[in-house]
Structures are given as structure tokens and as C-alpha cells.
Chains A and B, each alone.
Chain A
Amino acid sequence: MQLIVTDKQTIAEDTVSVRLEAVSGPLQAVAPGAHVTLEVNGLTRRYTLTRGHNAGDPYEIQVLRARDSHGGSQWIHDDLAVGDALEGLGVANDFPLSAVPAPSVFIAGGIGITPFLSMAEAVAAAGRAFEVHHVVRSTARQVPIPSFILPHLTTYAGVRPDFAKLLGHVDRDSQLYVCGPVEMMAVVRAEAHRQGFASNQFHAETFGAGPAATDQPLEVHLALSGTSFVVPPGRPLLDALLEQGAWLGYECRRGQCGSCMAEVLEGEPIHRDSIDPALRPGAMCTCVSWARGPRLVLNL
């Protein structure tokens, strides 16, 4: 799917929007919450579509410049220009709206607001109640919010919301949607669980599940195959395992499907996946997660 950049605008501090159109034929319309996978300067990156939900719409993505990125967002900010072609590797929706006709609570961290712009439009059109909570580093980072959302929006600029209070106020049958850094997702999930929300009321999509600057190299031991090797920080553990001839499944490679789980025999994982922790007792998703280190023993 060849895409052409037909517009690029700075919409907030360190944030650009990029409009994409097909070289030939109309683009496939997508449901709210869907993302497009793009080849960006040799890297594969996924971006939520903020437009493209009606037949004939162009696609639009909003991209924050990530300071510690491997170059995907930097390249979009600094090098990508109107008229450039991009290879689209597909569209998919890992973050669909629930069909349950209950109030929706959207909790966004930073650029994690993007899926909620179209999801809020869909629930508003269906006549369902909704509220949007947006945590931003500063108001300068706030992307433009459509006016129909404003009466339902609470912004937390430079402050961390009291999630216990926030969730304490919402309807008990609400559908909760969280999009933002993995740490925020984990805090909200734990609080929702504590307050008695069922796991099928909780929906999450995360980003920044990538490496952290504080990650240390890992000395990985594979108990079944008896091999050991060192993995430098920043390298997906899954890739290192496959390269070392350790077989495990993989599908989404973003911590959402649980295919690449490995049982941890020794070591302390730093979980960066977004699946329910009850589904991975004693195990970790090797595509996105890391460990305190230095030693990590996996049952592979």
C-alpha cells in the first residue's frame, strides 16, 4: 500500500499531524481505535489513525517526537515532507470499542489521546455517555481537541491524577479505556481491579513499551537448552532469543497478544506488555518486556 504525504502540520509542541493518501484507489475505511503500520526510515512503526473512519477519507496520524526513539519519530519530524511516499504495511485494530452500551471512560497519557478522538465521536453518535481524562506534561503539548469533546474533557497538565478518585466517581458498569505509557496503564488497571471493575471492562493500548534509558544489559540463561548470552539494552529480548535459536511464538510484537511469553525461572521482569497480568503468571512477554538484571533465567 503506497501512501503519499499530502499534508504535514505542527499541531502542538513536539507534535506533528501527517495526512496520508493512497497513490491509487480509495483507502480502506477503519473502525475507531485502528492503527496503520508504516515503514518509516527502514523501521516498522504503528500509528493510531485519527482520520480514515469513513469511506473516501484520507488517513491522518499524529506523531510525538520521542527523545529516546530509535529514529522513527525523529525522522517523521525532521525528514518527512509533503509529497514523499511511505509504504503502508497494513491497518488493524487492537483497540476496538466495546459493543456494551455502557458509559465510556477514556483515560489518555500524552499522545495517547489519539485513538479517543475518533472513539469519542463514535460513542457520542451512539448516544452513549462518555468522559475523557487527558494527562499531559504541559498545556503546550495538548493537541487540538474537537469541540464536541470539550464539555466531557478534564485535562491534567503537569499533574498526576488521583486515579482512585477518578475511577471512584464513574459508573460501576463503565467501559474503561486507557492509552498511554505502560506504567500509567498498569496503575489504572490495578486501581480498576481494586475497585471491582471486571477485567472485560478494562481496555488498554500502550506505547513507550520500548526500552527505558535505565535498562541494564541482561545475562540471559536458557534452562532447557543450556545456553547463555548477553542482551544489550534496547534490543528486543524476543529477537535475541530467536537469534540464539530459542523458539517461541510471536504475533503482535507489541505486548498485546501474549504469544511470545516465556516462563521466568529466575530474575525480576519489568513488564511492559498490556495483557492482563493474570494471564501471564510467572512469565513475561519477551517482545517488549525487560528485567532488572543482570541475570534472567527463562524456561526455554
Chain B
Amino acid sequence: MSANPFHPGELMIQRLAGEEAMAEMNGHNISPRIPAAARAFVGKQDLVALGTEDDDTRLWATLVTGSAGFASVSEDLADVRVDLDHPNGVLALAPSLKHLHASEPIAMLFIELTTRRRLRVNGALTAVAGSALAVHVVQAYPACPKYIQRRQVANQVALETPIMACGTAVTVPLISLLENTDTLFITTAGVDGLLDVSHRGGRRGFAEFTDGKIMIPDFAGNSMFNTLGNLAMDERAGLCIPDFERSCQWLLTGRGVGRLEVPDAPEKTGGTRRWIEFVPATWALLPLNVSRTWKFVDSSPFNP
């Protein structure tokens, strides 16, 4: 068998879930370059989730919008370039993106909400020049369409996009957004020095706010347990909760703890009884860099 691509945290969760054999099989799909078939896909995307670490070693997940072609893969499939278009100077103020430096790790998740396709790329920044990021690919993964709600870009002006804000206390508007969300993104760090940004989706309100913590169910997936495995080694985590109707996103940074064998109602986790307990430390409310709204098409038939 070829070398197992997983670190001890991932292996531990895979073993506890009894899914280590499946993880190893699916691990064969991880490649050190962008798969050739995904090159055109990346070139057509207009949305990417970025996982980054700030100067205070906090982790963040951020959605970045652009026009199709804002991201491109090099001919040799080893590098990705993302042009950050920020007509309103939003990204210069984003706590997650304002201080990026070459050689820092970065994670990217390209996700096409109309077709539920995605590509995960973990790598390192090779250059941050003006408004462009150059990323050297270390790992690229195909990902399944499960739990992705379909959405289409709506050609309408955003409903009153809120202005930028930040804070530490979790406020009522944030709780209300969280209780209605069906999509979020989470950044975690692996011991291999790589960051990972993953999508989490479910029915509206699948994530819950209790006792100052955000509880995110972990549904059956590809058995790799990159997020829970990373949290088993390093509790730092960043969350992005997009508001698809108001062209903004709520970014939270804090720590996450994997909870296994949680006694819960089966429909909440689809029977996995696994949760991520996220404890926010600080947050920022940020308009999308290129203003955009989406309309909901349908829920994933896989949602528990």
C-alpha cells in the first residue's frame, strides 16, 4: 500500500469512527497537484472560501467573490493564482486577509453552488503582490456534492448590506443568522503545517447556538475526518457564516472541539452522534468584496 496521507489526529478519529479502511481508500484520491480535470473548473469559478492564519495565529475562513476567471491554475497544475477584486477596499480591512505573507499556509475551497461541485486545495502562499495571491499546491482533493444546498446568483441588489463591524460578544443578529443558516465554512490546521477549509451544510438551522457555543453536526462523509482530526491536534478554528441574501459574511475565530458519541436526536447528525463544538473568541461582520446575492434553489437530498 502507498504511504498513508493522514496525521495522528485524523487517524485517531477515523479509528474511533471505525472508518479507517474507507479513509485510506479515499486517501488515494488526494493528489499533490490540481487534477487536470479541475483546471477548467477553477478557471470558471467566481467564489472561493479561503482558510488563513493571521499574525496572532488565529484561524479564519473567508468567502471571496470575483468574476469568472479570477482564479486560475498554472499549466503544470502546481500553482493557483487568485485575483482579489475589492472595489470597496473590503479585503484590506478583513482581519483574515489583511496581513498575508509569502510562505504562509493557505487553504482554498472552490465551490460551485449551482452544480454542487467543489475542489479543495491546501498549499502555501508563494507571493502576495498587490491584489493577487499566488499559491503553491500541496494537496488537492475532490469532494462529494453531499449536503450542498443549490443556489443561483440573483441579479438583484443586496438587501441593505450591513457595514463592517467586529466584536467579541455573540449578538442577536448573529444568532439569528446562525439559526437560519444551511451553509458554513470552517478552517482548521493540521500538524503537517497545512490549513484546511471545509464546507458544512444541512437543513436550515442545522448548526445550533447554545451556552455561548456554536454546535455543528458532523454528518457521514468521506471518512477522512480532516476537520475533526485537525481539531484533535490543534483546537484553533475559524468559521464563516455567509448571508446569501445580504451579500455579507460573519467571520468568527476561536477554538473547536470534536465531540463524539453525543446523545442526540438521530435526525440531527444522521446517526453519527458527532459534533464540532465551536467556542468563538472574536468576530467580524464583513460585506462580500464583490457584492452579490444568491437565491436558494433546493436542499441537498442527503441532508439528514
Residues in B whose Cβ lies below 8 Å from that of A244: 37
CA–CA, A297 to B41, complex, Å?
Answer: 18
State how many residues of chain B have any CB contact under 8 Å with chain A. 30
For A30, A245, A252, which residue has the most chain B Cβ atoms within 10 angstroms?
A: A245
Cβ contact within 8 Å between A258 and B24: no
5 of the cross-chain contacts (CB-CB < 8 Å) are: A30-B21, A34-B21, A245-B37, A251-B29, A258-B145
CA–CA, A230 to B28, complex, Å?
Answer: 28
Cβ contact within 8 Å between B40 and A278: no
Chain B residue nearest in CB terms to A259: B144
Cβ contact within 8 Å between A90 and B21: yes
B169 at the interface (CB under 8 A from A): no
- A92 CB contact (under 8 Å) in B22, B35, B36, B302: B22
A196 at the interface (CB under 8 A from B): no
A residues 191-206 in Cβ contact with B at 8 Å: none
CA–CA, A251 to B224, complex, Å?
Answer: 11
Residues in A whose Cβ lies below 8 Å from that of B35: 242, 247
B143 at the interface (CB under 8 A from A): yes
Minimum CB–CB distance from A200 to chain B (whole Å) comes to: 8
Minimum CB–CB distance from A285 to chain B (whole Å) comes to: 11
Minimum CB–CB distance from A46 to chain B (whole Å) comes to: 10
Add 14 more A-B contacts to A279-B301, A280-B301 (CB < 8 A): A1-B1, A90-B1, A92-B22, A225-B44, A246-B40, A248-B117, A249-B117, A250-B29, A251-B29, A252-B25, A258-B145, A258-B146, A259-B144, A300-B117
CA–CA, A258 to B44, complex, Å?
Answer: 23
Chain A residue nearest in CB terms to B21: A92
Residues in A whose Cβ lies below 8 Å from that of B301: 278-281
Cβ contact within 8 Å between A225 and B22: no
Cβ contact within 8 Å between B38 and A247: yes
B74 at the interface (CB under 8 A from A): no
Q: A249-B118, A249-B142, A280-B301 are in contact. Are A37 and B37 (CB under 8 A)?
A: no
CA–CA, A242 to B117, complex, Å?
Answer: 13
Q: For this complex, into which size category does the number of interface residues on chain A fall? A: 35 or more
CA–CA, A224 to B146, complex, Å?
Answer: 20
Minimum CB–CB distance from A272 to chain B (whole Å) comes to: 18
Q: Name B's A-contacting residues (CB within 8 A).
A: 1, 21-22, 24-26, 28-29, 35-41, 44, 114-119, 142-146, 222, 301-302
- A246 CB contact (under 8 Å) in B1, B21, B37: B37
A89 at the interface (CB under 8 A from B): yes
A105 at the interface (CB under 8 A from B): no
For B35, B36, B222, B301, which residue has the most chain A Cβ atoms within 10 angstroms?
A: B301
A263 at the interface (CB under 8 A from B): yes
Minimum CB–CB distance from A84 to chain B (whole Å) comes to: 19
CA–CA, A248 to B29, complex, Å?
Answer: 12
Cβ contact within 8 Å between B115 and A299: yes
Chain B residue nearest in CB terms to A238: B37
